[in-house]
Amino acid sequence: MRHTLPIAPQFYVTAPQPCPYLPGRMERKLFTALQGEGAQRLNDGLSKQGFRRSQNVLYRPSCADCAACLSARIDVADFSPSRTQRRVARRNAGLERQVASPWATEEQYALFRRYLESRHASGGMADMDTFEFAAMIEETPIRTRVVEYLDPETGALVATSLTDILDDGVSMVYSFFEPDLPKASLGTYLILDHVEIAREIGLPYVYLGYWVPGSDKMGYKAAFAGLDVYAGGRWQRVHDPDAFRSRAHPLVNDPIAEQVANISLPDTGPVRRRG
């Protein structure tokens, strides 16, 4: 009888490059491949430790001089919308939600291009073509869905979220929406509706990606009640957003070897790192 021993994921570190969120900073990522029969368990386990998925890769910021990027999630049980968020929910209540398998369409890509050109024209995804977009949507080894929002009168697609289903929540991998409807606050509405989705399927968290104190692009997540961030090896409730600004100090971050050694892996052997 032949037995196959589990192989521990190998972790790698990217080369430093300019940070897209904080001027004058350099970013670096710790990452590992997401593949094989244990992909879902690995994604579930590392998401609880601040990692995010991009296609077949799991990554977490591991910058040498900064630890400002904090993985954020909403505790559904402790969430209650603000007055402004309730208005946003009412304003978009007529949108039709459709959930489908991860399959890219021309309508999605057209919306994606409009969104990027309006919101992130100089970002790292600005040159993404149709094939790269399809890969972003379709290359997933885990339980992933595309959540679309349609105008009930015209049937037009106004917002889309690529959403992973974890064992303890839903993870908003990437979202984009119609930029010509600024008063609709569709970005906020997508998060509010994912809180409802998590409630409907009985999952406790909505994973939002990274919150970056001091960044205009990423600071909006602090407006949601019940927000937790992964900092210091554990999830912490955000009561005062300003209390996390010190994490941009160059002495805050732990050495990479220590970060890797503290990662808990589901049903695998020792962690291995590649520099």
Domain assignment present for 239: no
Under 8 Å between Cβ of 63 and 253:
yes
Tell me what pLDDT residue 122 has.
60
Give me the average pLDDT of each 10-residue run along the chain (275 residues).
Answer: 58 90 88 92 96 95 86 97 97 96 97 87 73 96 97 96 98 95 92 98 97 78 94 90 68 74 71 47
Statement to judge: residues 87 and 139 lie in one domain? yes
Whether residues 135 and 206 fall in one domain: yes
Could you tell me the CA-to-CA distances from 164 to 68, 72, 197 in Å, in that order?
Answer: 24, 15, 12
pLDDT of residue 5: 41
For residues 14 and 90, membership in a common domain is answered with no
Q: What is the pLDDT of residue 131?
A: 95
Of 123, 188, 118, nearest to 149 by C-alpha is 188
Q: How distant, in Å, are the alpha carbons of 63, 169, 211, 255 from that of 251?
A: 11, 33, 20, 10
Q: What's the pLDDT at 249?
A: 58
Q: What local confidence, expressed as pLDDT, does residue 252 receive?
A: 62
Domain boundaries, position 25? 10-71+248-274
Q: Please report whether residue 154 resides in a domain.
A: yes
* Beta carbons of 59 and 210 less than 8 angstroms apart: no
One domain for residues 91 and 202? yes
Residues in the chain, overall count:
275
Claim to verify: residue 20 and residue 58 sit in the same structural domain: yes
- 232 dihedral zone (left: phi>0; alpha: psi -120 to 50; beta): left
- The answer to the question of residue 237 being in a domain is no
Q: Do 29 and 86 have their domain in common?
A: no
Same domain membership, residue 194 and residue 169: yes
- pLDDT value, residue 74: 98
- Judged by phi (left if over 0) then psi (alpha if -120 to 50, else beta), residue 50 lies in left
Whether residue 45 lies inside any domain: the answer is yes
Consecutive H or E run containing 175:
strand 169-177
